[in-house]
Amino acid sequence: MQVTPGARKLTYADFLLFPDDGKRHELIDGVHYVTPSPNLGHQELVGRLHLAIGNFLATHRHLGRVFLSPLDVVMSDYDVVEPDLLFVASDQPILTDANVQGPPALVIEILSPGTRRRDEGIKRRLFDQKGVREYWLVDPKGRRVSICRRTADGSFPIVATLDAAANHDLTTPLFPEFSLSVTELFSQT
């Protein structure tokens, strides 16, 4: 979706008026994006990741909390996203009863033909600009996970691309001792 020259940027107040139609509505720099509901393979991957992270956090509650979409993440008045999964660390006072007010520590998106360019492009830039600590781009077609991670100098590069064929394990400093086989993650997709 593109904004026509001179078009007004939409705000969170506008976002709250969008229909509850089962589609994912997001604002990025005041531009409204709509994504159809996800397919079964997408939902299976989200479920596996949520289960793995949730089970880990059940015995490591002090680290923070994991959430599934739909959940509004309000990064600014012009930036409201609904990541597939997100993790809010215990040191982040950004949870409200209604939504998340600020950048989560971890954002996870499952790439699809309709969202790939947005997830790899403007969303990655948004997460970089707003201070997300880590961003996982899960690619069902390529059977790999790319990880962007905040570095000591503040940059947000891709630090690893983990491939199911190479039997890589998914780990993160956000969850010490957590490990998930990328091969197992994609085993049924």
Q: Which amino acid is at 110?
A: I
Give the separation between CA 18 and CA 61, rounded to whole angstroms.
34
Q: Residues 21-59: pLDDT tens digits?
A: 888 899 999 999 998 888 889 999 999 999 999 999 999
Q: Pick the residue with more confidence: 85 or 115?
A: 85
* 58-66 long-range Cβ contacts below 8 angstroms, 24+ apart: 60/175, 60/177, 62/90, 63/89, 63/90, 63/174, 63/175, 64/88, 64/89, 64/90, 64/91, 64/92, 64/105, 64/174, 65/95
* Amino acid 2: pLDDT: 46
Q: Residues 156-188: pLDDT tens digits?
A: 999 999 999 999 999 999 999 999 999 999 987
Question: Which position has the token pair 């699809």?
Answer: 112
List the domains of the chain with CATH numbers: 39-185 (3.90.1570.10)
Q: Residues 125-161: pLDDT tens digits?
A: 999 999 999 999 999 999 999 999 999 999 999 999 9
Q: Pick the residue with more confidence: 1 or 107?
A: 107
Cα dihedral 165, 135, 111, 121, rounded to 10, equals -120
Q: pLDDT band at residue 5, thresholds of 50, 70 and 90?
A: low
Report residue 171 as tokens: 């780990």
Strand duo 169-170 + 158-163: pairing: unpaired
* Amino acid 153: pLDDT: 95
Report residue 72 as tokens: 């509004």
Mean pLDDT of the region 72-78: 97
pLDDT value at 100 more than 80: yes
